[in-house]
Amino acid sequence: MPHLDAAYTLARWMTRNPEDAHDIVQEAYIRAFRFFENYRGGSAKAWLLTIVRNTGYTWLRQNRAHDVDSVFDDEAFEVPERTPGPEARLVQSANQELIHKAMERIPLEFREIIILRDLEGFSYKEIVDVTGLPMGTVMSRLSRARSRLQKEVMERAGKEIEREL
């Protein structure tokens, strides 16, 4: 099954639940096979992830409407690179958990843009194709998403430090 990992990653981050993500991916692949004659060329991965995204939003509206409707704010975001020594791996593992928890707290429309751009490596054009959003919206939403993620990470890191003191 081509692009199964990318489809599952997107669905998993959309739902925050592995079982729900499996259901969405399964339904999306069924839809993709059913409507394969509508595929007009281009990036097959982008076409498939568009189906996964649409299936995910449909599922969320039916099962968890509150996850689709959320409020957000703006800030900047950068993740520093780390060299993988023993101490660095330990810190990196803790950072990954911190980022994972922060990702779960940001609104869905931001999570999906970060997943498509930063985890799946999609170009802005491919994200436009997948989401159907205008290019400017994709760019500003990515900036807001990174900003919101940074805020969540900083808040969680601050709480961890307070607990240790």
Per-residue pLDDT tens for 21-58? 999 999 999 998 888 877 777 788 888 888 999 999 99
Q: Quote the strand ranges of 51-126, DSSP E.
A: none
Tell me the backbone φ, ψ of residue 3, rounded to 5 degrees: 65, 20
Residue with tokens 């990174």: 146
- Which of residues 69, 90, 112 is at a domain's end? 69
CATH number, domain with residue 109: 1.10.10.10
| Residue pointed to by tokens 């592995």 | 18
Residue 75, domain member (yes or no) = no
pLDDT at position 124 is: 94
Q: What's the whole-number mean pLDDT along residues 118-125?
A: 91
Please tell me whether residues 53 and 90 are part of one structural domain.
no
> Over 70: is that where the pLDDT of 165 sits?
no
Structural domain contains residue 125? yes
Report helix, strand or coil for 64.
coil
Segments forming the whole domain that contains residue 15: 4-69
**Residue 10 maps to a domain:** yes
pLDDT: which is higher, 37 or 7: 7
Rounded to whole angstroms, the Cα distance separating 13 from 108 reads 8
Number of domains in the chain: 2
- Chain segment 66-83, per-residue pLDDT in tens: 655 544 434 433 444 545
